[in-house]
């Protein structure tokens, strides 16, 4: 594949390169009364206003040419047709099948996958109904009141984020907790909130070999058996979600209590697979399927819309404009929805584990920057913390602001205040406040520079009628396909994650050295060696 930066289309884009200060957003709006309507797009139930980005028609069409030069349409078809586009792991990438309709023809290696997906979905639905209705009893005959999902990364962030996002749809008598961290504080604080006889543990791990998850799952099992006094209790209180039947059995969970998914589902693309079981128990199978239908709406949009009004593609191209042409290294996601408070963290894994890479598909080093740093917090909280930098700092941070017309909770006019704040922030960021405007307010001259806002701080406004299961599915799929588009243009594999391996290997060695009573010789750098010795010494002194 030709590196994108060596194509004439990229050279043309470079010829349009500007600094953010050179773009005149005020002027762009003043000279074109149709700017907002022309740059506002629909995808499913999402209305996406891109008019406050630092783009004009020439820039946008140059970006679209870059997408064409990267054969984006063919890449999208390769994805949907099950080609092994995850070349370093020799796998297909088929998370779209997780939200398929029974008649859809998705295949992997020539084998239809939709029937398997629906078989597991039906098993999950049956199980979730039994838990929700109280038909499934714990070992002592109690019904399940607490679900604890034990998993990390893609086996945690998706369901944990969605459980909070869909709080209004959850079962009132079943609480779901999420344990991910190897820090014993995570499991200990969770176990302190639940009772063994009414708790179901869902051990979620694609590989079923992840250190944190297995350590937490073993400790949870020991806690349960200790409280209920019988190993046989495990069968009523533990289920597993994994691709690895052998390891699940080796752990001691019967395959009857296992919900399967497949290696063509990447961890960070798996929240709509059986990894979503804890979420399904919480919101019920019907709402879960509504969420899947939402994902599907955006899959259809991404696959079939022309590039020029394909919203994930446009978001991706605008992101490339900032990352590669304006040199902006971070991108914020700011949901004006408290229930979406974990959405930025979810997107961090989705985006940064997918596109945080410097090696191209062909093994050569990328000649241009790839994935940006993704971060964010819900509004309005962020306004009273880091928005100062967004408005007046020396670093420009493009941002997506996400809001909803209808709230899921009514308290006085607080939702109007929330939505109004979102619009006001986008306006302030985009248009700022000039020196003359400040002076016109009779401000003391020495304060004028401090009270001036430069503007030209770009935002998208992503608005949906309400935060429903379907809309959540649409939002996630929007970002999944944005990430895929960017990876395709940069020529990297968005579906492996070799960058997490080295730390895992070194951790295994260091953990051994911290706890081995024989105190083996240390052969790390002098800093790591000293830290290990200090830790051992402190433990010895503590007794
Ligand atoms: O360490 C990274 C990672 O492999 C992620 O990609 C994955 O989501 C997470 O660990 C958990 O992996 P598993 O589901 O196999 O336990």
**How much is the pLDDT for 213?**
98
Query: Hey, is 160 helix, strand or coil?
Result: helix
Atom of ligand 1 at shortest range from CA of 267? 8
Asked if residues 294 and 470 have their Cβ atoms less than 8 Å apart, the reply is yes
**How much is the pLDDT for 31?**
97
Q: What tokens does 443 get? A: 């401000």
Q: What tokens does 13 get? A: 């884009």
Sign of the CA dihedral 315, 73, 497, 246? positive
DSSP annotation of 433 reads B
Whether residue 152 has its Cβ less than 6 Å from ligand 1: yes
Asked if residues 151 and 262 have their Cβ atoms less than 8 Å apart, the reply is no
Element (H, E) at 49: strand 46-49
List the residue whose alpha carbon is closest to atom 8 of ligand 1: 154
Question: To 10 degrees, what angle do helices 469-490 and 72-80 make?
Answer: 120
DSSP annotation of 384 reads G
C-alpha of residue 126 to centroid of ligand 1, in Å: 27
Q: Which of 90, 304, 384, 436 is catalytic?
A: 384
- Catalytic residue list contains 353: yes
Whether residue 497 has its Cβ less than 6 Å from ligand 1: yes
Query: Hey, is 486 helix, strand or coil?
Result: helix
Whether residue 100 has its Cβ less than 6 Å from ligand 1: no
- Catalytic residue list contains 118: no
Instruction: List all residues 6 or more positions away from 130 whose beta carbon is below 8 Å from its beta carbon.
Output: 136
**How much is the pLDDT for 531?**
96
Q: Which of 42, 504, 519, 539 is catalytic?
A: 504
Q: What is the distance between the alpha carbons of residues 521 and 45, in angstroms, rounded to a whole number?
A: 61
Partner residues linked to 7 by β-bridges: none
C-alpha of residue 155 to centroid of ligand 1, in Å: 7
Half-sphere exposure of 273 (CA within 13 A, CB side): 32
Atom of ligand 1 at shortest range from CA of 500? 1
- Encode 419-468 in three state secondary structure: HHHHHHHHHHHHHCECHHHHHCCCCCHHHCHHHCECCCCCEEEEEECCCC
The residue written with tokens 């109904």 in the block is 129
The residue written with tokens 């010494």 in the block is 537
**How much is the pLDDT for 22?**
85
Atom of ligand 1 at shortest range from CA of 275? 14
List the residue whose alpha carbon is closest to atom 1 of ligand 1: 500
Instruction: List all residues 6 or more positions away from 385 whose beta carbon is below 8 Å from its beta carbon.
Output: 377
Q: What is the distance between the alpha carbons of residues 513 and 520, in angstroms, rounded to a whole number?
A: 7
C-alpha of residue 323 to centroid of ligand 1, in Å: 27
Question: Would strands 111-112 and 107-108 be described as parallel, antiparallel, or unpaired?
Answer: antiparallel
Q: What tokens does 517 get? A: 């009573």
Which of 211, 265, 497, 506 to mutate to test ligand 1, by most ligand atoms within 8 A of the CB atom?
497
Phi, psi angles (nearest 5°) of residue 259: -115, 125
Q: What order of strands is seen across the sheet that includes strand 238-242?
A: 175-179, 146-150, 199-204, 238-242, 258-260
Whether residue 205 has its Cβ less than 6 Å from ligand 1: yes
- Catalytic residue list contains 501: no
Asked if residues 84 and 110 have their Cβ atoms less than 8 Å apart, the reply is no
Whether residue 182 has its Cβ less than 6 Å from ligand 1: no
C-alpha of residue 210 to centroid of ligand 1, in Å: 7
Q: What is the distance between the alpha carbons of residues 193 and 384, in angstroms, rounded to a whole number?
A: 32
Q: What is the distance between the alpha carbons of residues 243 and 208, in angstroms, rounded to a whole number?
A: 8
Query: Taking Cα atoms as reference points, which of 515, 431, 448, 477 lies closest to residue 25?
Result: 431
Q: What is the distance between the alpha carbons of residues 121 and 116, in angstroms, rounded to a whole number?
A: 9
| Per-residue pLDDT of the chain in tens (543 residues, 90 and over written 9) | 899 999 999 999 999 998 767 899 999 999 999 999 999 999 999 999 999 999 999 999 999 999 999 999 999 999 999 999 999 999 999 999 999 999 999 999 999 999 999 999 999 999 999 999 999 999 999 999 999 999 999 999 999 999 999 999 999 999 999 999 999 999 999 999 999 999 999 999 999 999 999 999 999 999 999 999 999 999 999 999 999 999 999 999 999 999 999 999 999 999 999 999 999 999 999 999 999 999 999 999 999 999 999 999 999 999 999 999 999 999 999 999 999 999 999 999 999 999 999 999 999 999 999 999 999 999 999 999 999 999 999 999 999 999 999 999 999 999 999 999 999 999 999 999 999 999 999 999 999 999 999 999 999 999 999 999 999 999 999 999 999 999 999 999 999 999 999 999 999 999 999 988 787 889 999 999 999 999 999 998 987
Atom of ligand 1 at shortest range from CA of 210? 16
C-alpha of residue 180 to centroid of ligand 1, in Å: 11
Q: What is the distance between the alpha carbons of residues 508 and 191, in angstroms, rounded to a whole number?
A: 26
């Amino acid at each position: 594949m030709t590196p994108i930066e060596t194509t004439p289309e990229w050279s043309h884009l470079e010829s349009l390169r500007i600094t953010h200060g050179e773009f005149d957003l005020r002027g762009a709006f003043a000279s074109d009364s149709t700017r907002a309507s022309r740059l506002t797009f629909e995808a499913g139930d999402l209305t996406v206003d891109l008019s406050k980005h630092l783009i004009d028609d020439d820039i946008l069409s140059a970006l679209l040419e870059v997408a064409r030069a990267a054969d984006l349409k063919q890449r999208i078809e390769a994805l949907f047709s099950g080609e092994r586009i995850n070349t370093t792991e020799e796998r297909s990438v088929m998370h779209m099948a997780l939200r398929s309709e029974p008649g859809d023809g998705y295949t992997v290696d020539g084998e239809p996958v939709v029937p398997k997906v629906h078989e597991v979905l039906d098993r999950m639905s049956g199980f979730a109904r039994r838990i929700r209705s109280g038909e499934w009893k714990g070992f002592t005959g109690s019904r399940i009141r607490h679900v604890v999902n034990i998993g990390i990364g893609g086996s945690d962030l998706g369901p944990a984020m969605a459980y909070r996002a869909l709080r209004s749809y959850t079962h009132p008598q079943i609480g779901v907790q999420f344990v991910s961290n190897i820090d014993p504080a995570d499991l200990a604080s969770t176990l302190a909130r639940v009772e063994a006889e009414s708790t179901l543990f869902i051990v979620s791990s694609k590989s079923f070999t992840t250190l944190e998850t297995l350590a937490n799952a073993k400790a949870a099992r020991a806690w349960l058996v200790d409280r209920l006094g019988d190993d046989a209790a495990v069968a009523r209180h533990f289920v597993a979600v994994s691709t690895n039947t052998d390891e699940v059995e080796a752990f001691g969970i019967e395959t009857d209590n296992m919900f399967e998914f497949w290696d063509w589902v990447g961890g960070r693309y798996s929240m709509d697979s059986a990894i979503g079981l804890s979420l399904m128990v919480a919101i019920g199978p019907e709402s879960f399927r509504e969420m899947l239908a939402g994902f599907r709406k955006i899959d259809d949009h991404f696959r079939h819309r022309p590039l020029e009004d394909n919203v994930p593609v446009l978001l991706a191209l605008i992101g490339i404009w900032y990352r590669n042409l304006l040199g902006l290294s971070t991108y914020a996601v700011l949901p004006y929805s408290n229930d979406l408070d974990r959405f930025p963290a979810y997107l961090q894994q989705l985006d940064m584990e997918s596109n945080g890479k410097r090696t191209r598909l062909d093994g050569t080093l990328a000649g241009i920057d790839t994935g940006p740093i993704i971060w964010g917090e819900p509004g309005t909280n962020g306004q009273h913390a880091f928005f100062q930098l967004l408005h007046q700092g020396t670093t420009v941070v493009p941002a997506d602001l996400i809001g909803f017309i209808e709230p899921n909770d009514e308290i006085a006019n607080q939702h109007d205040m929330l939505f109004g704040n979102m619009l006001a922030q986008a306006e302030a960021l985009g248009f700022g406040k000039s020196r003359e405007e400040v002076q016109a307010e009779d401000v003391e001259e020495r304060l004028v520079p401090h009270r001036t806002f430069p503007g030209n701080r770009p935002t998208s406004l992503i608005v949906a009628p309400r935060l429903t299961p379907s809309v959540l599915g649409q939002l996630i799929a929007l970002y999944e396909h944005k990430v895929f588009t960017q990876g395709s243009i940069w020529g990297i594999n968005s579906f492996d994650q070799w960058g997490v391996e080295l730390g895992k290997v070194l951790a295994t060695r260091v953990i051994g050295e911290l706890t081995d009573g024989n105190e083996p010789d240390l052969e790390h750098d002098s800093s790591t060696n000293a830290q290990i010795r200090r830790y051992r010494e402190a433990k010895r002194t503590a007794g």
